[in-house]
Chain A
Amino acid sequence: MAILEVKNLHKSFGKTEVLKGIDFSLEEGEVLSIIGSSGSGKTTLLRCLNSLEFADRGTITVAGESIFDSSVDLKARSEKTLREKRLYFGLVFQSFNLFPQYSVLENITLAPKLLKKATNEEIEKTALELIDSVGLSEKINNYPCELSGGQQQRVAIARALALKPQILCFDEPTSALDPELTGEVLKVIKSLADKNMTMIVVTHEMSFAHDVSDKVIFMDSGVIAESGSNEILTNPQSQRLKAFLNAFGK
């Protein structure tokens, strides 16, 4: 059974329809890349999955659990169940969004401690392991303003992982980085893929997408214009994807 099933997702902002019926599914351990030009709805789709936006129509199901169902009145859902549903997903933002007043370690332990996920000792032990796995053991007591963008994004990944999400989403994780810093972040994402973490990556890094993805979705004007294995990146079928990849110089 698929770990994630998205059916007929529609979302409008005012009169602009941003998502016009999105359907896809994802198996456990798979990596899905979502590509497409800006304004195609990629980020809105991720935000719907993470309940930062609510779709107007459609359903989202994770491991058989309904995350979103437009036939159920939104207001009938309590804040508590909403918070629980959010935890099925993790989200790494384009602009990192680390908490500036907390150290690297505190950024990672803050939410698990507030949500009482385990004892404080266990939470800190897990956090230190995560920091080690993203290669920042020497920076545990540093503050975000003392880190490079690449280091901040690696902390953000560790922070998302600390809550053990079923599916980890990345919203253009390297777009805010200097080119020489993207490699270190992509390496961390690749290592997660090697550990069979289920992930959805919105990205403009085509060679990376080809390298890491089991599935690729190409979005254009709010619809999935083409989808398939990573081969669609080297052998696109639709005219629109061909034109898009050409614009990337592929």
Chain B
Amino acid sequence: MNTFLIVLEALNVGFLQTLKLFAVTLIGAIPLGLIISFGSMSKFKPLSVLVKTFVWIIRGTPLMLQLLIVYYFPGLVLNNPIWGSGESGRFIAASIAFILNYACYFSEIFRGGIQGVPVGQKEAGQVLGLSKSQIFFKITLLQMIKRIVPPMSNEIITLVKDTSLSRIIALQEVIWAGQSFMKGAQGISGQIWPLFFTGIYYLLFSGILTIIFNKLEKKLSYFKT
């Protein structure tokens, strides 16, 4: 029993780091994704080509590789280890990689959401004398949100589990914490069950998110687009 409590406490600490990475990624990637989606829809060709190339590179390579590059490139290639060696440096590097990666995926969802709103909605706003920003915020935005809730919930639930990839740069998240009991953390070694037990955390958290997204979908079901 005592062992169980020790393990549970360590896993809780690890999961807190998981949650932190999850939250920081969302807070950074949603606005950045919106900016990227506007960039990819820009009528200024050089900008849209540049943005689309960036999205292609990020979506076309593994997130794990991106984590390794962001973390090791400054120190090992530029001889300028800006992240330091501590946990906070690893967290910043992981956050940057996750935000860039998820912003690119989100941007495609946003683009689909914006372009999916019928052009007649914008024109109706135009003939009523509304400005571009009034049309976006008062007419298009909510219809876009309604359209993107299902794909976004998919992507966000994937993010919950993708945070475990940060294990590769030794970020001390919940998988790292579970694994540590195989190698003698706090005098406990050779135990595989703490690692397996981390699955419960992911299950519970993605379960909560599923409920939240279902509620949101229901809340937006009062109108049809």
Contacts and interface: CB of A to CB of B under 8 A. Distances in A.
A87 interface: yes
A113 to B, nearest CB: 10
Interface in A75-96: 79, 83-84, 86-87, 89-91, 93, 95
A86 B223 contact: no
B131 A97 contact: no
A127 to B, nearest CB: 13
A84 B225 CA distance: 29
B120 interface: yes
Contacts of A84: 129
Contacts of A86: 126-127, 129
A100 B130 CA distance: 17
Contact of A100 (B131, B138, B223): B223
B127 A89 contact: yes
A180 to B, nearest CB: 22
Contact of B121 (A87, A90, A99, A160): A99
B129 A111 contact: yes
A74 interface: no
B143 interface: yes
B191 to A, nearest CB: 53
Shortest 9 CB-CB contacts between residues of A and residues of B: A111-B128, A97-B124, A97-B120, A145-B224, A91-B127, A100-B223, A87-B129, A101-B223, A83-B129
Interface of A: 50-52, 79, 83-84, 86-87, 89-91, 93, 95, 97-101, 110-111, 114-115, 143-145, 159-160, 163
11 contacts: A52-B123, A52-B126, A83-B130, A90-B127, A97-B118, A99-B139, A100-B224, A100-B225, A111-B128, A114-B134, A115-B129
